[in-house]
Chain A
């Protein structure tokens, strides 16, 4: 009897020990975390291999030609090279995405890898870019004034000082946002951009830029002399303010003599849009005896809807980013006025070779600077839409520079990076 019990105990002990050893070997020996680690390392190696090959391909003329197949290169090309069961070890290279912008020299690639072992699945993507476009920061030198409007301005009517837009040029021509904005005067561009722009409701929104008179001359603080440029980006609301549609709209206005009833409608330099005839106006008043105003007038058909209106109350269109940005530029040099839209010269007006009327009153963005008696509300021509990147150069930019500025804002500078 005792021998039987002893044998039974030995047998059971052996069975328990076997179970424990088995448990240790199967569970604690190869836990999932180790498998995952092994897979990640493997995927990392395969990813490196794929990325290296993709970069080599992307830089090769033959590779891109094989994709284009005789077609011309367009502004942007994105295509995905997919693979059918391209396995290396436990990894599978699913696809490689190639992106080109502007030319073959500007590209990035992204690889997509997955790996699987004993029920554990991991995925890994990596990317690398060379000379890839990257938005410029709006710095343009030399310049006099440049408002990037990158600052988020919340409740500018509520908090004193929370309505300032810094001047990127370093010349301290700070812009001041005026008028009521329920939440924020500035908003992101949206879409692929992370810039901010400023809303103008066509009622009372505008930005004023105070003059900084030169200590030596006392005038010319915004330097409308013999050679300068004005530029800005905008989305013009195609309808303008409800019930006041003919008021649309002043984009940028450098006054000559805002209190003088004769000269206040003759700006030193200005850019505005008129709804009645769908025309953009670019003007410079010359400093001659008769204060001649040179004006370029160009047909322009805005498509944007920036505000919806309910009984005259503006409701901002959150989908405004779907409408294209346009740039507007004006250069004046030795009596020649040139108007640009989207970086392209659209009209030239030639006057006498004199300087422009000197500026002493700063700049207004979003309405005219009119002062004194006899000025009605409708005379201000408040702008309805959004504006960004408003600036002034101290010389006349040439056509190529205007085009580069437009493209620089809309596209980008170049960057290279790796994420692996």
Chain B
């Protein structure tokens, strides 16, 4: 009995540990990737022309930075971030695409159920006008099936404040 209990405790502890650490790692990577996408928006673009679309669940901006090769390019690119349906078992994913093509470097981030965006101007005042946007609060809701009960998914939220660093560099 004691051996069985011990085994079960170990299994429980391991699965919790696995889930927690992998989820933290995944959330951390996702937040870093989203932040990087925002920070490279607007390279070579006048600050008031960076954003093309600023929705609550989708954002589109321009940049001369080529996110696919991670280098400065001489072509203007359009970067879009949105939640899109993907094939099972993931259901939904955050897609970061450049000129319509998802990026290879974490261009598709799984286990994300929802993204909510709130935009701010250079004074930190909330705005909805694309020309004024200089930063955004990105709220990501991660969803993953529980290792103990697949019918009860676990959700974790993370909030990241992302800045258009290159717009600020130009004086915003």
**Contact: A27 with B165, CB < 8 Å?**
no
Select the stretch in B70-78, B82-90, B121-129 that faces chain A.
Answer: B70-78
Q: Beyond A33-B24, A420-B165, is A28–B73 a contact (Cβ under 8 Å)? A: no
Q: Beyond A134-B74, A135-B74, A419-B40, is A31–B21 a contact (Cβ under 8 Å)? A: yes
**Contact: A412 with B13, CB < 8 Å?**
no
Q: Beyond A20-B9, A31-B17, A33-B25, is A419–B65 a contact (Cβ under 8 Å)? A: yes
The answer, among B6, B16, B25, B74, for a CB contact under 8 Å with A412, is B74
- Measured CB to CB, the closest approach of chain B to A222, in angstroms, equals 29
**Contact: B64 with A134, CB < 8 Å?**
yes
Interface pairs (9), CB distance under 8 Å = A31-B24, A33-B28, A194-B74, A416-B169, A417-B43, A417-B72, A419-B40, A419-B65, A420-B165
Please report the C-alpha to C-alpha distance between residue A156 and residue B65 in the assembled complex, in whole angstroms: 30
Q: Please encode chain A, from 87 to 102, with 1 for each CB lying within 8 Å of some chain B CB and 0 for all others.
A: 0000000000000000
Residues of A contacting B55 in the complex (Cβ-Cβ under 8 angstroms): none
- Say whether A37 faces chain B, with CB atoms less than 8 Å apart: yes
Residues of B contacting A129 in the complex (Cβ-Cβ under 8 angstroms): 72
The answer, among B6, B13, B64, B73, for a CB contact under 8 Å with A16, is B6
- Measured CB to CB, the closest approach of chain B to A325, in angstroms, equals 14
A-B interface, 9 closest residue pairs, ranked by CB to CB distance from nearest = A135-B74, A33-B25, A31-B21, A417-B43, A194-B75, A194-B74, A28-B17, A415-B44, A16-B6
Q: Beyond A37-B28, A134-B64, A417-B166, is A195–B74 a contact (Cβ under 8 Å)? A: yes
Please report the C-alpha to C-alpha distance between residue A24 and residue B24 in the assembled complex, in whole angstroms: 17
Residues of chain B in range 24-56 having any CB-CB distance to chain A below 8 Å: 24-25, 28, 39-40, 43-44
Q: Please encode chain A, from 370 to 410, with 1 for each CB lying within 8 Å of some chain B CB and 0 for all others.
A: 00000000000000000000000000000000000000000
Please report the C-alpha to C-alpha distance between residue A134 and residue B63 in the assembled complex, in whole angstroms: 13
Residues of B contacting A9 in the complex (Cβ-Cβ under 8 angstroms): 2
The answer, among A27, A415, A417, A420, for a CB contact under 8 Å with B17, is A27
- Measured CB to CB, the closest approach of chain A to B170, in angstroms, equals 7
Please report the C-alpha to C-alpha distance between residue A16 and residue B43 in the assembled complex, in whole angstroms: 58
**Contact: B65 with A417, CB < 8 Å?**
yes
Across chains A and B, the number of contacting residue pairs, with CB separation under 8 Å, is: 64
Please report the C-alpha to C-alpha distance between residue A263 and residue B17 in the assembled complex, in whole angstroms: 87
- Say whether A13 faces chain B, with CB atoms less than 8 Å apart: yes
**Contact: A12 with B9, CB < 8 Å?**
no
Residues of B contacting A419 in the complex (Cβ-Cβ under 8 angstroms): 39-40, 65
Binding site for A on B (CB under 8 A): 2, 6, 9-10, 13, 16-17, 20-21, 24-25, 28, 39-40, 43-44, 64-65, 72-75, 165-166, 169-170
- Measured CB to CB, the closest approach of chain B to A191, in angstroms, equals 11
Residues of A contacting B25 in the complex (Cβ-Cβ under 8 angstroms): 33, 36
Q: Please encode chain A, from 26 to 48, with 1 for each CB lying within 8 Å of some chain B CB and 0 for all others.
A: 01100111101100000000000
Q: Please encode chain A, from 119 to 132, with 1 for each CB lying within 8 Å of some chain B CB and 0 for all others.
A: 00000000001001
Please report the C-alpha to C-alpha distance between residue A132 and residue B28 in the assembled complex, in whole angstroms: 33
Residues of A contacting B13 in the complex (Cβ-Cβ under 8 angstroms): 20, 23-24, 28
Please report the C-alpha to C-alpha distance between residue A37 and residue B16 in the assembled complex, in whole angstroms: 20
- Say whether A418 faces chain B, with CB atoms less than 8 Å apart: yes
**Contact: A134 with B72, CB < 8 Å?**
yes
Residues of A contacting B17 in the complex (Cβ-Cβ under 8 angstroms): 27-28, 31
Q: Beyond A28-B13, A134-B72, A193-B74, is A16–B166 a contact (Cβ under 8 Å)? A: no
Please report the C-alpha to C-alpha distance between residue A32 and residue B40 in the assembled complex, in whole angstroms: 28
**Contact: A418 with B74, CB < 8 Å?**
no
Known: A9-B2, A34-B24; 14 extra A-B contacts, CB below 8 A, are A20-B6, A24-B13, A31-B20, A33-B25, A33-B28, A36-B25, A129-B72, A193-B74, A412-B74, A415-B72, A417-B65, A419-B40, A420-B39, A420-B165
**Contact: A418 with B44, CB < 8 Å?**
no
Residues of A contacting B2 in the complex (Cβ-Cβ under 8 angstroms): 9, 12-13, 16
Q: Beyond A12-B2, A28-B13, is A418–B64 a contact (Cβ under 8 Å)? A: no
Residues of A contacting B44 in the complex (Cβ-Cβ under 8 angstroms): 134, 415, 417
Please report the C-alpha to C-alpha distance between residue A418 and residue B42 in the assembled complex, in whole angstroms: 10
Residues of B contacting A27 in the complex (Cβ-Cβ under 8 angstroms): 17
Residues of A contacting B28 in the complex (Cβ-Cβ under 8 angstroms): 33, 37
Q: Please encode chain A, from 1 to 32, with 1 for each CB lying within 8 Å of some chain B CB and 0 for all others.
A: 00000000100110010001001100110011
